[in-house]
Structure 1
């Protein structure tokens, strides 16, 4: 059901060219499902006949709707438009409100970072992801902090692969605290890499997507891609490496300090984490939370903070993140 626009709503007429029936069907989706998705998210009404569309709603939301329809129509020329495509296009329209000031030169992202991989071109969606990619390129140490589904890990791995393939670094090192997420997993068989691999699955999934299974296996055998459990990093110095520490909220203060002091010459480090999903014992302080305070303002270090509005997974994920945030705030208010 379409959302009822306000009485003072603006109207915008949009004609999409060329008038291609198959392309328009691809854009609208089965039973106009994509149009309904746009209506519900923006709070507008979309009427269409052929390639003629009329959008009714507030001036700002109608403008967003026009941009989304044009973007998806361009996509429909070569690819099948999915509900995920619609969600991502909508997310980009809301991204500007939750990033830094549009008057800031960095926010304009004139020199946007674009990564080319075997799966095609990878670029940031919305200003926060674009800023994150730019921070990784321009800083030796970058933090990406925010809820699940905002692309923190995926973009870090993409940046690592990009750096490796262009000889910016000589190896990729994957690090993650081996903290069980509220479950007792018991004894895990195998060598060190096999024991830690289940904890590094999100990193490997991204590597497989960008490099393929066989190449990842070959590079792992040659130690170009290395599995490094956080607890075993002590005493090492990582030179000419791209180091990714994932799920950093589960590191202790001592572990975080130890990890950050492993960075050597020619290396790049990216630390990702979500402070709402800490699995440490309640009496133990998160190294990621501590690092935000201690390292704020230190030259050469960047922090990118993602919000629920930056979630690029299934739309339901954003709603779940928001629901948990509201519940936690209510609990804190009652405490």
Structure 2
């Protein structure tokens, strides 16, 4: 099983080469991808040249790149051996993380067998979700080991997506009785009453990103059924007032648009047996001028409180189109201090 180096790296005219052998040609075809696009992706990101010779691959480049490339190819091949698919995002994640085995995380009983050695996996009804950067991996571990966790960083870094995935995992494994997803409907404001339709129809457009994430992890019919049974709730932040959220996985998205009072109200809803995640981007506050973001204040007040974790992302953790990361970096560079 797996792949192996045929011989020690060879040297010819100062070109260093690491040859690798793959026993299953069918899996090797999947590993290479259509028109060898997967190999091209690895070559581009690691600065390698990969040459295919039958059921062998030769890695040409400096020692560090060849070593990283060999480990990444082994990880991806073993993924295929396990019967799992291989998408461009999986390759990008393997390259970012660099290696399958890292410092092994402690495996507590409440981690739902999420941590397999150094690998972090979130099992849902429709798919297995894997973090694709070290920051994402640390974030998921934090979600499983803290009753209240914050995820702060730019768009596209997986803050909400991973939080919803963990919420679904906790629910399907029976660790919580319900899932509650909410976000401030800041854009609606006073105009909400002038929109046509029922209250739910008026706020649904603002909740759509949460529906999108949820539908990635649960079959559509099941989502509808669980909504009817009130086991899944997707609602504006204001609807949380006066409630105690017990035995629930709770996610507050776009928390930078919660006011100080709204944030305090939300955080104090935490009940027995619940896990709460707050996500937001400090650079995208849509509150009226002079109104302080509840996310920013909570970050200042709650750092160091036992049982609460803060997890941060940067443009390097963006897992959307690579251009998104460059756009974020350009805006960050141009932003004035403070």
Contact 1:39–1:45 (CA<8 Å) still a contact in 2?
A: yes
CA distance in 2, matches of 1:304, 1:10: 42
CA distance in 2, matches of 1:291, 1:10: 55
In structure 2, relative to structure 1, the CA distance for the partners of 1:218 and 1:17 (3 Å cut) is: same
Q: With structure 1 as the length reference, what TM-score do the two structures score?
A: 0.82
**Is 1:154 the counterpart of 2:161 in the alignment?**
yes
CA offset digits 1:146-169 (Å, max 9, x no partner):
222222112211221222223322
**Is 1:65 the counterpart of 2:72 in the alignment?**
no
CA shift for structure 1 position 240: 1.9
**Counterpart for residue 295 of structure 1:** 302
**Counterpart for residue 5 of structure 1:** none
Contact 1:157–1:244 (CA<8 Å) still a contact in 2?
A: yes
Contact 2:160–2:279 (CA<8 Å) still a contact in 1?
A: yes
Q: Aligned match of 1:16 in 10, 21, 33?
A: 21
**Counterpart for residue 313 of structure 2:** 306
1:138-153 map, 5 Å? 138-153=145-160
Compare 237-246 and 79-88 and name the one that shifted more.
79-88
In structure 2, relative to structure 1, the CA distance for the partners of 1:146 and 1:188 (3 Å cut) is: same
* SS of match in other structure, 2:19: strand
Count of residue pairs the alignment pairs up:
312
CA offset digits 1:56-112 (Å, max 9, x no partner):
33433322222222223334454564333322222222999xxxxx8xxxx642432
Q: With structure 2 as the length reference, what TM-score do the two structures score?
A: 0.81
**Counterpart for residue 163 of structure 1:** 170
CA distance in 2, matches of 1:123, 1:326: 30
CA shift for structure 1 position 258: 1.4
In structure 2, relative to structure 1, the CA distance for the partners of 1:19 and 1:259 (3 Å cut) is: closer
Contact 1:148–1:274 (CA<8 Å) still a contact in 2?
A: yes
CA offset digits 1:91-141 (Å, max 9, x no partner):
222999xxxxx8xxxx64243264322223334334322222222222111
CA RMSD of aligned residues (A): 2.9
Contact 1:10–1:62 (CA<8 Å) still a contact in 2?
A: no
**Is 1:277 the counterpart of 2:284 in the alignment?**
yes
CA distance in 1, matches of 2:138, 2:259: 27
